Structure 1
Amino acid sequence: MAFLMKLCTRQVFSRFTEPACLSLRLSISSSVLMRPGSFNDLEIAKSRVSTLSNDPGNEAKLRLYGLFKQATIGKCSSKKPGMMDFVGRAKWDAWNNLGDMTQAAAIDQYCQYVDLLTSLDTGSQSSSTDLAQYKEIVVTDNNGVRTIMLNRPAKYNAITYQMYSEVQHALEEAAKIDSIVVAMLTGAGNYYCSGNDLSNFTNIPPEGPQKLAAQAKEVLREFVSCFIQFPKVLVAAVNGPAVGISVTTLALCDLVYASENASFHTPFMNLGQSPEACSSVLFPRIMGPAKANEVLLGGRKLTSAEALERGLLTSVFPAKTFSNNVKDLVTSIAELPPKSLMKSKQLLRNVDRDLLEKANKDECDLLEERWLSDECMQAIMAFMQRKK
């Protein structure tokens, strides 16, 4: 049976390499009006797929298929194919898993993914860069901008330990590549990031919860320190709701752009935890103590307009034009003299660098204590039970 399935899969997936598939026809839904620039970007990216000298593989082709359908038609509304239609089901899953992703976001991700495939195909990336190594994020380098996209849309981009490691590595690598001027963080799908994946707290090692807490503390401390020490311009493009660590790290970014449908929530008290990512220092400085306490202690969820008014954001853009607005701004920043940008950021960050590293250590020490408390464990269990 296994041999038969393998043979059938090989035969049906070979259809993905046919010219008709690789040169997908563009059929824009008449109910959607796209900016001419977006249309052109998609058309150009589509044509580049057929120029790949190496087969990118079935997983890449399925991802391209799903993003292209989402970009040109919108949310999947077709009936799931039958059990024996292996290709049809695989293609349907690739499209359906994108959920409510906007067509503009799908165009942006399609173009970025084609950039990645082209870079790997031609070997044009720096020899120190192996973008294919990332599993839970998508990393693309284009026109001086490294885009780091959290890529677990089905899980609302909840951060796993693997993702912590990959984002940190992508930033550390970007710091060493001369051609990278700006690093930008964003999320796949409709969420920016839903915070920590709570499964991080369930995989208790044989040594017990103390070992898990100690490991988690070090992972978080190093992750936040990477933001503190990053020498180049760091931009956050908040495309949707942000929770927990994805909110607190915004204060460590140099520029923060948000979609109008984004929200910002730090429910630390609900989970029996405490502030992180230097928010105990930076949020009161940015918002004022009373407003910061409302967010960090009271768990007040902010809209984009409120976060902008409180100084957490640089700008807010309409959801339909968000990707293009941010792309234009970040590209223009990447065209500025890179050494001047780095030296100026160093000057700005040096004022608080030691203070931020101390705050990071103190916050992580307290979090380790909170994670081992009965109060925190009961709060997390109650939250997970509510989710079920």
Structure 2
Amino acid sequence: MSLSKKAKDCWDTNLKKDSIGELVPCLVSSESLSQKKDFSSDNKSKFQTLEVTTNENITKITLNRPEKKNALSYVMYDEIIQALKEAGEDESTITVVTGNGDYFSNGNDLNNLTEIKTFEKLKEDMNGFVSMFIDFPKPLIAVVNGPALGIAVTILGLFDTIYATDRATFQTPFVQLGLLPEGCSSYTFPIIMGPNKAKEMLLFNKKLTAVEACKWGLVTEVFPHSTFQKEVWTRLKAYAKLPKNCLVLSKQLIRGMHKEKLHATSTQEVEQIVKIWLSEEFKTATACLLKKKSKL
């Protein structure tokens, strides 16, 4: 399959400018990080794509683009970094990430394809996003309320606990899109589920049900959808009453031995992803994806 003339001209122009288009990987602006340590009372309105609240020693970050299946736009990446930074510094005991609506997150927003960044900026932003999860000081818990794709799945390997409704599914179609695994999944997934199962998911686009994801070790526990929120939040409120400093120090001991390797893995993944963006495979996959999208 060959690229359309319009797509080819776009790629040729971008390459001459030493910049590239982006598909799945996470891009954020480090310049957008807030220096404030405490959440204001109107956090719901300070973010465009998130709802952030702090109650009963729990900071809850909700992906809030239900009309887009919580697909991750560049604005959302910026805001996730900001919200995590502030949550790591506030007085809450644990931090919870979930989604609004039927999806946890549908992965990267396809509109990100129109964004152009330089190689160095891409590397800086991608590593910055993943580093926020690697270095997050408190217990970080995902409440997966529905299907998750792409980066929304691979980043789960950096959470401490993952609870899922039985309606959730997990899929990482990177190779299908001409891309590479990211979010440290090339390191975390083989540890979590074993190398063979990790390769089936990351290389061959194996789609997991919530029960399979739990059996493979990616998910901590699965709950019936009808009782999901009640059961999970009962547990979370109990966790939030535990001694905060002990939780932080315990996480440091557990995560500490892996941090150096995780940061090195993120850097290596980003380097390879940037290279693959220049390949004919990625250009072809991108053109096909955009063509399918235009027909929807």
TM-score with structure 2 setting the length:
0.84
Report if the CA contact (8 A) 1:136-1:152 is conserved: yes
Residue of 281, 290, 293 corresponding to 1:384: 290
The offset of 1:127, in angstroms, is 7.7
* Residue of structure 1 in register with 2:38 after alignment: 128
**Structure 1 residues 8-43: Cα deviation after superposition (integer angstroms, max 9, x where no partner):** xxxxxxxxxxxxxxxxxxxxxxxxxxxxxxxxxxxx
Identity %: 44
Residue aligned with 1:351, SS: helix
Residue of 119, 124, 127 corresponding to 1:221: 127
Q: Taking CA–CA contacts closer than 8 Å with sequence separation of 6 or more, which of the two structures ends up with the larger relative contact order?
A: 2
Residue of 91, 96, 103 corresponding to 1:191: 103
Hey, what's the Cα distance between the residues in 1 that align with 2:122 and 2:291? 22
**Structure 1 residues 164-211: Cα deviation after superposition (integer angstroms, max 9, x where no partner):** 111111111011112x1111111111000011112112123xxxxxx3
Report if the CA contact (8 A) 2:37-2:86 is conserved: no
The residue identity in structure 1 corresponding to 2:171 is: H
Report if the CA contact (8 A) 1:237-1:256 is conserved: yes
Report if the CA contact (8 A) 1:187-1:238 is conserved: yes
Residue aligned with 1:146, SS: strand
The offset of 1:267, in angstroms, is 0.1
* Pair 1:231 & 2:140 matched: no
* Pair 1:347 & 2:253 matched: yes
Residue of 55, 77, 86 corresponding to 1:173: 86
Residue of 154, 157, 163 corresponding to 1:248: 154
Change (3 A) 1:194 1:127: closer
Change (3 A) 1:127 1:285: closer
Change (3 A) 1:216 1:321: farther
The offset of 1:292, in angstroms, is 0.5
The offset of 1:286, in angstroms, is 1.0
Hey, what's the Cα distance between the residues in 1 that align with 2:113 and 2:290? 11
* Pair 1:287 & 2:199 matched: no
* Residue of structure 1 in register with 2:73 after alignment: 160
* Pair 1:148 & 2:58 matched: no
- Structure 1 unpaired stretches of 5+: 1-125, 205-210
1:114-125 to 2 correspondences below 5 Å: none
The residue identity in structure 2 corresponding to 1:190 is: D
Residue of 245, 262, 267 corresponding to 1:361: 267
The offset of 1:214, in angstroms, is 3.9
Hey, what's the Cα distance between the residues in 2 that align with 1:127 and 1:266? 34
Hey, what's the Cα distance between the residues in 1 that align with 2:100 and 2:278? 33
The residue identity in structure 2 corresponding to 1:245 is: I
The residue identity in structure 2 corresponding to 1:239 is: N
Report if the CA contact (8 A) 2:38-2:89 is conserved: no
* Residue of structure 1 in register with 2:13 after alignment: none
- Structure 2 unpaired stretches of 5+: 1-35
* Residue of structure 1 in register with 2:112 after alignment: 200
* Residue of structure 1 in register with 2:206 after alignment: 300
Hey, what's the Cα distance between the residues in 2 that align with 1:213 and 1:152? 28
Higher share of residues assigned helix: 1
Report if the CA contact (8 A) 1:213-1:372 is conserved: no
The offset of 1:384, in angstroms, is 2.5
**Structure 1 residues 80-129: Cα deviation after superposition (integer angstroms, max 9, x where no partner):** xxxxxxxxxxxxxxxxxxxxxxxxxxxxxxxxxxxxxxxxxxxxxx9832
The offset of 1:213, in angstroms, is 4.7
The offset of 1:260, in angstroms, is 0.1
Hey, what's the Cα distance between the residues in 2 that align with 1:303 and 1:229? 29
The residue identity in structure 1 corresponding to 2:292 is: R
Hey, what's the Cα distance between the residues in 2 that align with 1:202 and 1:213? 15
Q: CA RMSD in A?
A: 1.4
The residue identity in structure 2 corresponding to 1:193 is: S
1:63-102 to 2 correspondences below 5 Å: none
* Residue of structure 1 in register with 2:52 after alignment: 139
Report if the CA contact (8 A) 1:217-1:367 is conserved: no
